[in-house]
A = this chain, B = another copy of it.
Amino acid sequence: MAETIKYLLDESRIPKAWYNIMADLPSPPPPVLHPGTMKPVGPDDLAPLFPLSLIMQEVTAEREVEIPEPVREIYKLWRPSPLYRARRLERALDTPARIYYKYEGVSPAGSHKPNTAVAQAYYNREAGIKRITTETGAGQWGSALAFAGTLFGIDVQVFMVRVSYDQKPYRRALMETYGARCVPSPSNETQSGRAILARNEKHPGSLGIAISEAVEVAASRDDTKYALGSVLNHVLLHQTVIGQEAMAQLELANDYPDVIIGCTGGGSNFAGIVFPFLGAQLRGGRKVRIVAIEPAACPSLTRGKYAYDFGDTAHLTPHAKMYTLGSTFTPPGFHAGGLRYHGMAPLVSHIKELGLIEARAYHQIKCFEAGVEFARAEGILPAPEANHAVRAAIDEALKCKEEGVSRAILFNLCGHGHFDMQAYIDYFAGKLSDQDYDEAELAMALSGLPSVKAA
């Protein structure tokens, strides 16, 4: 058998529609509620923040949502992304398992995030929007939106958590090279920012504060909208190009996954690879085990509560029913910044509640161990977030070896680690810790859930 097995698709095979799992679910997810009225939110409630086309995608029940040609044109820069059979890793593990990985790090911004950033920038431009605001922590989402913005001629303003802004100048430089304006948050540019700075002018910032600032700016100007990089239905929808391509590529391989693995922060890369396969199963196709991997330091799916909660810390967003650790929950420090979210996408939470997927939490050190093993065997250096999926894939492959069975394992390698080398340096220096979240902190955050407070 060949040493390198890469399944490529012609660019005519870039999907022509996103796949909407809503159409195939046995029951719809609970509605998103307006925090004032506690009634389901309507398009008007969201119109200050998003163009109507995206609001409609948020609630549509159509199975297929057509991908506009200008979006497919930009996808062509890097899509279809490759699917690899990890032959060298299989040999290093001496496993009978067949390990496949879909590699999304080939996008110019280095992760799966441009799949939705490009779509969101397109719909905003079609709606005549001149500027998009967003927040970013580690910077992967911010750089994806900056990339999409420059290609569609839309100004992008990124509120970057101040501590990251200071500590991660390279991600910031990438955004600025794409022409985005990057502002450390809390900033003097918004009321919410100024209020926080008035109390503490050296405030390190948080994702919650950055969201509030981005939302405030978008809501206050007609030519400006807001964009989110995960969690929402339309974001997950845009990521389904990943799974659809993987399905076609596995057909070339004459194979079908027994288990699919993705890491979960807000849930979008996981949904992207999983939903097309899960949809096929729900329509009577082959059953597949699906495993979500989250960080043990921020374990919404395995330790959170399935309840209505705010999406942000500052409580400007609607209530969504989701697995949540409480919107005030602060996880201890760990390197997979993309997985530091207190909640889980409502759609992913719903399918977990329906028993359609499993979830597992991993500590970071053994994830980096797996990432290094992967890099040495396959030659690609994964992002810290992706290392969670790598760890789980290796564990599944080792189980195959133990049991003497060959199963097909598919995982999403959602991004490369070129901008995360400090994490690898810390790993090699033995400076990473597997600190758990604080149980009292979690209890406190959960006691603050709107439903608990209302009861």
Contact = CB atoms under 8 A, between A and B. Distances in A.
Interface of A: 2-4, 6, 8, 10-11, 70, 73-74, 76-77, 84, 88, 106, 108, 110, 147, 150-151, 169-170, 173-174, 176-179, 372, 375-381, 418-419, 421-422, 424-425, 428
Contact of A76 (B4, B150, B151, B376): B4
Contacts of A424: 173-174, 176-177
Contacts of A147: 379
B418 A3 contact: no
A35 to B, nearest CB: 38
A110 B70 contact: no
Given A106-B106, A150-B376, A177-B376, 6 more contacts: A6-B11, A77-B379, A108-B379, A147-B379, A170-B422, A179-B376
Contact of A381 (B3, B174, B422, B428): B174
Contacts of A8: 8, 10-11
A174 B420 CA distance: 10
Contacts of A11: 6, 8
A6 B380 CA distance: 23
Contacts of A106: 106
List the 9 shortest-distance A-B pairs measured between CB atoms, nearest first: A170-B421, A418-B418, A3-B73, A4-B76, A108-B379, A173-B421, A150-B376, A173-B425, A173-B424
A77 B4 contact: yes
A178 to B, nearest CB: 6
Nearest to A150: B376
A418 B110 contact: yes
Contacts of A379: 74, 77, 108, 147, 150-151, 178
A177 B418 contact: no
Which label, helix, strand, loop or mixed, suits the secondary structure of the A interface?
Answer: helix
A282 to B, nearest CB: 34
A6 B179 contact: no
B110 A425 contact: no
Contacts of A376: 150, 177-179
A151 B425 contact: no
A136 to B, nearest CB: 16
Contact of A428 (B173, B375, B378): B173
Contacts of A73: 2-4
A74 B418 CA distance: 21
Contacts of A176: 424, 428
A6 B77 contact: yes
A100 to B, nearest CB: 15
Contacts of A419: 418
A379 B78 CA distance: 10
11 contacts: A4-B77, A110-B418, A150-B375, A150-B379, A169-B425, A170-B421, A176-B424, A177-B375, A177-B424, A177-B428, A178-B379
A108 B421 contact: no
Contacts of A70: 3
A77 B82 CA distance: 9
B4 A74 contact: yes
Contacts of A380: 77, 108
Nearest to A72: B4
A97 to B, nearest CB: 20
A176 B372 CA distance: 9
> Could you say which of A70, A170, A419 has the most chain B C-beta atoms within 10 Å of its C-beta?
A170
Contacts of A4: 73-74, 76-77
Contacts of A179: 376
Contacts of A169: 421-422, 425
Contacts of A3: 70, 73-74, 76
